[in-house]
A and B are shown apart, each in its own frame.
Chain A
């Protein structure tokens, strides 16, 4: 008995008690996904970011490549949520924030930010664009076309069965079963919900009368926590439909959405096109870029744009240099492509990127 116990303890000790990680040697160049130049960087320090969990994998990708290029730097990004990120940034608890919406003009006043220089306000830069897919699980159906009006009807609870004539009219080839629709939405507040309801509000104004909001505004339907929860609920259920980041859809089928005759799948290109065709919000400083998404633009306009929020000038100049360097990599073509590969986001278009790069370079 005793010998066996001792042996078990010893074994677990050998397994666990290596107080260093093999991938964390001081001259860390082995891992990482980018082919960044040899570590000649002189940047040093720790950067803490906080915010949206939607961009977590993209942030991990950027952090990995950035740390590989600058071995003296550690970047921590905690995906606590957009609201938590903005709160922490305002209070000076985070050096930059990731947020599923830009700081509003009235929130962004000079001197409101503890970590920023006294005469500095914050800037928003779009860093992550992700199409939101409409996913479903109906036995025997893999392709589904939906207009915004029908989509709104389903999620509003007006259309309750898959054999509804409104759906059948859009999908003459599909054999739609006599099956109740379970529409799955997010149970937590999220930027995904805000963008999805904003789309329904604009593109299907006749059916969807609720204002866009982070919290699901309509009673009824099924709710699930987080993107992964929605995907699990849709995949495990029958007759289910939901909305989720396109990259996380997994094995669920993806619907094509758009006005009749112009159904689009949520591809990166279609999402990037829609963002490109949307105007930049008026009334902001030149380096403060927020996109006023046009939900009826060409392409696939059900997209989520996630922003990086930083000071235009930091109290601590060294911090400013670090944040500027990090965000420069994030919005560079290389950074955007790396995120597209690992997180399935849509890279910023060239014209938008030029503007964003200029904004990031202005960070002091």
Chain B
């Protein structure tokens, strides 16, 4: 401030200092605003370019007659992959979300304060592990470890009426099933969800928490009354970030999963529904001509799925915000 006014007035020596001051501010402001707006617009352009790329390369596959496509008619070909993607990601979220909430609560409200920061850092480390390493871990460590449990599950509950839909079928001899993939995906989303949830829980107003405790609530009751309602929108947002990773994860799924044809809900068999991203990674190196277009078109389908999921999440967050008292 004061230094601004003392700068030599080279451009317009005749104008009054005050108006010059305003002009300079205006210029700085509009420049800054322009740059910021430009960045935002740049994102629009990038996304438009990605969308154009996807649509442009998909059109040949979407318009070609089914029997000319190397992998068969498009929609019946892509459906099992789309369903498999959503199914695997949903299972992963089923495992990851409760654990992530638990971890975030433990770090923010249960662990000793001094320990908490270190613990948070340790969980963040999981985000540092590259997906290839998760793939290797999935094949060589996790799959052999859970295989006996799968065998036990399959032999005990696999023949019960409703359970057979999920735990039935011929159990895999290697444990590389969609359930294992969901576990690996859950581990991969965990640090993302935990990191954001932790920050959100830390933002809970102290006064809300103390008011609850002062009324005689136990720690758990305080969390249910003060922390969770406040954190729900942030929690949903965190889950969406994690879900994005689970839906789009490529290499770990491709390495761990034993894919088969078609879609079904059974979790323990060798023939699992594959995910779209992993399928692209598996088939793209050897694909050529229309096959490449068809694979990219499946990428477009995944893009649309992500879009729908995000819109749904936005809707949920918006609705929850109306009801939650916290702001």
Contact = CB atoms under 8 A, between A and B. Distances in A.
A188 B173 contact: no
Interface string A210-228: 0000110001111111000
Given A86-B288, A233-B174, A189 B271 contact: no
Contact of B260 (A188, A190, A191, A220): A220
Interface in B249-292: 254-255, 257-262, 270-271, 274, 282-288, 291-292
Interface in A179-199: 180, 182, 184, 187-191
B172 A214 contact: no
Contacts of A191: 286
Contacts of B260: 219-221, 223
B143 interface: yes
Contacts of B170: 180
B176 interface: yes
A187 B284 CA distance: 12
A158 B263 CA distance: 22
Given A229-B139, A229-B255, A180 B173 contact: yes
Name the residue among A215, A224, A225, A237 with the largest chain B CB count within 10 angstroms.
A225
B140 interface: yes
Contact of A223 (B139, B258, B292): B258
A236 B144 contact: yes
A121 B262 CA distance: 41
- Chain B interface residue bracket vs A: 20 to 34
A219 B271 contact: yes
Contact of B287 (A189, A222, A232): A189
Contacts of B254: 187-188, 225
A188 B143 contact: no
Contact of B174 (A81, A215, A220, A237): A237
A188 B286 contact: yes
Interface residues of A, number: 33
A188 B172 contact: no
Contacts of A86: 288
Nearest to B174: A237
A347 interface: no
A239 interface: yes
Contact of A188 (B261, B285, B292): B285
Given A219-B261, A225-B254, A225-B282, A236 B270 contact: no
Nearest to A90: B288
Contact of B259 (A83, A190, A223): A223
B286 A222 contact: no
B140 A189 contact: no
Contacts of B261: 219
A187 B253 CA distance: 12
Contacts of B271: 219-223
Nearest to A82: B286
A30 B271 CA distance: 50
A340 to B, nearest CB: 25
A143 interface: no
B173 A237 contact: yes
A240 B270 CA distance: 12
Interface in A146-197: 180, 182, 184, 187-191
Given A182-B174, A219-B271, A239-B173, A188 B282 contact: yes
A86 to B, nearest CB: 6
A162 B209 CA distance: 64
Contacts of B139: 229, 232-233, 236
Given A224-B258, A225-B254, A225-B255, A84 B172 contact: no
Nearest to A232: B139
Contacts of B291: 83
30 contacts: A81-B284, A81-B285, A81-B286, A83-B285, A83-B288, A86-B288, A87-B292, A180-B173, A182-B172, A182-B173, A187-B254, A187-B274, A189-B285, A219-B261, A220-B270, A221-B270, A222-B172, A222-B173, A222-B174, A222-B176, A223-B259, A223-B260, A224-B176, A225-B255, A229-B255, A236-B140, A236-B144, A237-B147, A237-B174, A237-B175
- Give the 4 A-B CB pairs with smallest separation, nearest first: A81-B285, A182-B173, A237-B174, A189-B286
Interface of A: 53, 80-84, 86-87, 180, 182, 184, 187-191, 214-215, 219-225, 229, 232-233, 236-240
Given A81-B284, A219-B262, A225-B254, 11 more contacts: A86-B288, A182-B270, A187-B257, A187-B274, A188-B283, A220-B270, A222-B271, A225-B255, A225-B282, A233-B258, A239-B173
